[in-house]
Amino acid sequence: MQPFSIAIHGGAGTILKSDLTPELEAAYLKGLDDALTTGYAALEKGGSSLDAVTAAVVSLEDCILFNAGRGSVFTKTGKHEMDASIMNGRTLEAGAVAGVQKVKNPVLLAKAIMEKSEHVMLSGEGALQFAKEQQLQLKEDDYFFSQFRYEQWQMVKNENTVALDHNLQVSSSAKTMADKEKKFGTVGAVACDASGNLAAATSTGGMTNKNYNRIGDTPVIGAGTYAGNKTCAISCTGHGELFIKAVAAYDVSCLMEYKGCSLQQAMEIVTLDKLVKINGEGGMIGADAKGNIALVFNSEGMYRGLQKSNGEKLVAIYH
Q: Is 79 in the site for a copy of itself (CB under 8 A)?
A: no
Question: What part of residues 123-142 is at the interface with a copy of itself (CB under 8 A)?
Answer: 123-127, 129-130
Residues 213 and 124 sit within 8 Å (Cβ to Cβ)? yes
Shortest separation between residue 30's beta carbon and a copy of itself, angstroms: 34
Shortest separation between residue 313's beta carbon and a copy of itself, angstroms: 32
Residues 71 and 63 sit within 8 Å (Cβ to Cβ)? yes
**Known active-site residue 186:** yes
Sign of CA dihedral 267, 272, 276, 282: positive
Sign of CA dihedral 218, 182, 295, 25: negative
Shortest separation between residue 111's beta carbon and a copy of itself, angstroms: 15
H/E element, 69: none
Of 78, 84, 80, 74, the closest CA to residue 105 belongs to 84
Q: Which stretch binds a copy of itself (CB under 8 A): 2-10, 170-178, 186-194, 213-221?
A: 213-221
CB closer to a copy of itself, 15 vs 96: 96
Q: Pairing between strand 93-100 and 121-123?
A: parallel
Of 78, 293, 96, 304, the closest CA to residue 204 belongs to 96
Of 115, 127, 106, the closest CA to residue 87 belongs to 115
Q: Is 50 in the site for a copy of itself (CB under 8 A)?
A: no
Q: Is 93 in the site for a copy of itself (CB under 8 A)?
A: yes
Q: Is 306 in the site for a copy of itself (CB under 8 A)?
A: no
Active-site residue among 37, 38, 75, 186? 186
Q: How far apart are CA 265 and CA 16, in angstroms?
A: 26
Q: Which stretch binds a copy of itself (CB under 8 A): 23-31, 215-223, 281-289, 290-298?
A: 215-223
Shortest separation between residue 274's beta carbon and a copy of itself, angstroms: 10
Q: Hey, which residues are catalytic here? A: 186
Binding site for a copy of itself (CB under 8 A): 92-94, 98-99, 117-127, 129-130, 162, 211-216, 220-223, 226, 240-241, 244-247, 250-251, 254-255, 258-259, 278
